[in-house]
Structure 1
Amino acid sequence: MDFPEASTPLSDLPGLTPEDAAARLRISTKTLRNWESWGWIAPAERTQGGRRRYSEQALQIIEATGMAERGKRVRTMKKETEIGTKGSARSATVIAVVNHKGGSAKTTSVVNLAGVFAVEKKLRVLVVDLDSQANCTIGLGFSPYTLTAKRQLFISDVLLPGGSPQSGGGYTALHNIRDAILHTEIEGLDLVPSSLQLSDAEIPLINAMARETTLSRALAHLRNDYDLILIDCPPSLGIFTTNALWAADHVLVPVEAANYAVAGLTAIVNVVRAVRELGRDVNILGVFNTRVPGPLTNSARDALENTKRIFASTYIDIPIGNTVASERAVEEGNPMVVSSPKHKVSESYRQLAEEVLRRVG
């Protein structure tokens, strides 16, 4: 899959008139004005001649979030069964947590959100560790080295192509994903672990047919077993993240509270748009800031304001603090929301989990 170039910052691209913007989004200009008044899209700017222009940045974010399609489905969404309702026929919601920049607290967010969903919301949760560093595996209490000694199957064993072609395209995996699932010490929270072996699976996967859909096809067998599936993506936008996006219904993007981190979001927006253009109905559910210092510095405040301005209603205004305790909890193999439930970071993740469930519907 070839993705659009991400070298041009979104803010440097030319703007569109309200008529052109509405036509591109396949909505009316009245709807576009309503979206602006509701805060769904960044406000139009006025040129020196007084004409209103919507930035290319705002349009691309709307396309990546799937706002137009979701807006048309509002009435339908209100009629849907709530997520996690016992006995519901609704399949699991898959959320990929993505950022190609390291240090965004991506794994910390996955581990703590999973803890809240399982412990406090009583949901059936599966975490898929798609990073060869295996930090998520460690954060949920497992050592990749010990698991290897016990001949445990990893996500790499699931993704490696086997020899049997499938009628819908692609090949069967060497192993069934069910055989790789581990039960954590937290009731209702399971894990598909990772290890350094995942890096060895990249080249075989790149050369496989229908390579982008490998993880999606594996998870299809588990959707009725869980309420939520969280995918911890690697710090890159390569074949593994592509697989996660193809498997996901939604994307969550944690962003460090620094302006250089905000500027790098162009690539994520482009990749999500590319996957959507290929027919996968995935959208950016929310963008939230992490590693927010306390007290708040001027540069961090600017980063928070810029993220909120750029992503408008997609922005989740729940800053996650930068503490040593949260990192230590992951290293010790226990979500902070479990080991220190009253900590301010735990409360922030609790609020974030509530907002994620509200947006999922």
Structure 2
Amino acid sequence: MAGTKHTSAVQDSARKTAAELNPNGPTGRPRREFAVPPTLAQHGPARIISLCNQKGGVGKTTTTISLSAALAEYGRRVLVVDFDPQGALSAGLGISTHDSNTVYDLLLGTVKDPAEVIQHTAIEGLDVLPANIDLSAAEVHLVNEVARETILARVLRKVSDDYDVILIDCQPSLGLLTVNALTASHGVLIPLECEFFALRGVALLIETIDKVRDRLNPAIELDGILATMYDSRTLHSREVLERVVDAFGEKVLETVIGRTVKFPDASVAGTPITEFAPEHAAAKAYRQLARELISRGAIA
């Protein structure tokens, strides 16, 4: 045990020394500390942000859960919308969707009031609009609806004054549900795995956002690209991140989320990483992400 502690101390010291020698962060820009945001004097109306990427497994749900919990820690009232039929976000926050109303019922109009569907989490200030596999039938049912792309926007309009931010966890596709999310949103946050094939689809996603801006939602903007599953030990991760920064510049957030086994552990426990392992580097990274988005004006 003593040897293990000594080895860990040596590794921590080496990392600190490396950080001191290299004042730049993983994105190549100078490291910055984002200040803890001031407490809000009043709440609402919410800014709505979609977390979107048509590629699966890039960290959308993990980021939605962890970012929302970090924002709640900073006194923000947060609503997260599970807009993926897999229902991973609901499960990741310990929300049961068995025999309960979901966002699907609101889209179809069988339930009119979102307050009847919203569930509170164990974290103060963090609520969920849950989903389950029923949502997979939504595109079929909505295809003949008038103004079908704006249905989610009309649902969220009823509760936006109650929250400071609404985060929508989109499914990995660019279908009608994702278009609904983008039409309802003020901003888009793109989690991007530091892997070559994840990089290839970003141009298509940006094109979709531009089409939504032109035809449905002129106010939508790209709030940032978040590098996830970054491993500084691999040349591949470093090269992908470098290419993303070259292509998108300041739109790439300075916060970078590293790869760790703590995320699946937290998911199994049904709790955010900020609660599951509050002192872990991943939890600290998501708190920094919350502070960075607030400092950029993406969130109040």
Q: For this pair of structures, how many residues does the alignment match?
A: 261
Rounded Cα–Cα distance in structure 2 between residues aligned with 1:242 and 1:129: 15
Q: Which residue matches 2:57?
A: 103
Are residues 1:154 and 2:91 paired?
Answer: no
Are residues 1:114 and 2:52 paired?
Answer: no
SS of equivalent residue, structure 2 residue 267? helix
Query: Contact 1:252 / 1:286 at 8 angstroms: preserved in 2?
Result: yes
What does 1:166-205 correspond to in 2, within 5 Å?
174-205=111-142
Q: Unpaired segments of 5 or more residues in structure 2?
A: 1-36
Distance 1:84 1:230, change over 3 A: farther
How big is the shift at 1:332? Answer: 1.7
Amino acid corresponding to residue 88 of structure 2 in structure 1: N
Rounded Cα–Cα distance in structure 2 between residues aligned with 1:279 and 1:198: 22
Distance 1:207 1:123, change over 3 A: same
Identity %: 37
Q: Which residue matches 1:49?
A: none
Amino acid corresponding to residue 265 of structure 1 in structure 2: V
Q: Which residue matches 2:33?
A: none
Q: Which residue matches 2:42?
A: 87
What does 1:227-266 correspond to in 2, within 5 Å?
227-266=164-203
Query: Contact 1:108 / 1:327 at 8 angstroms: preserved in 2?
Result: no
Rounded Cα–Cα distance in structure 2 between residues aligned with 1:174 and 1:223: 17
Q: Which residue matches 1:275?
A: 212
How big is the shift at 1:207? Answer: 1.7
Rounded Cα–Cα distance in structure 2 between residues aligned with 1:100 and 1:227: 26
Q: TM-score, normalised by structure 1?
A: 0.70
SS of equivalent residue, structure 1 residue 224? helix
Are residues 1:287 and 2:247 paired?
Answer: no
Q: TM-score, normalised by structure 2?
A: 0.84
Large movers: runs of 4+ above 6 Å: none
How big is the shift at 1:108? Answer: 0.3
Query: Contact 2:183 / 2:216 at 8 angstroms: preserved in 1?
Result: no
Q: Which residue matches 1:134?
A: 87
How big is the shift at 1:308? Answer: 0.8
Match of 1:309 among 226, 229, 246: 246
How big is the shift at 1:220? Answer: 0.5
Amino acid corresponding to residue 92 of structure 2 in structure 1: G
Q: Which residue matches 1:11?
A: none
Distance 1:174 1:208, change over 3 A: farther
Query: Contact 1:83 / 1:227 at 8 angstroms: preserved in 2?
Result: no
Rounded Cα–Cα distance in structure 2 between residues aligned with 1:242 and 1:137: 21
Rounded Cα–Cα distance in structure 2 between residues aligned with 1:84 and 1:330: 29
Rounded Cα–Cα distance in structure 2 between residues aligned with 1:307 and 1:325: 26
Amino acid corresponding to residue 156 of structure 1 in structure 2: Y
Amino acid corresponding to residue 159 of structure 1 in structure 2: L
Query: Contact 1:111 / 1:330 at 8 angstroms: preserved in 2?
Result: no
Report the RMSD for the aligned CA atoms in angstroms: 1.6
How big is the shift at 1:317? Answer: 2.2
Rounded Cα–Cα distance in structure 1 between residues aligned with 2:160 and 2:103: 17
Q: Which residue matches 1:79?
A: none
Rounded Cα–Cα distance in structure 2 between residues aligned with 1:142 and 1:183: 9
Rounded Cα–Cα distance in structure 1 between residues aligned with 2:268 and 2:254: 27
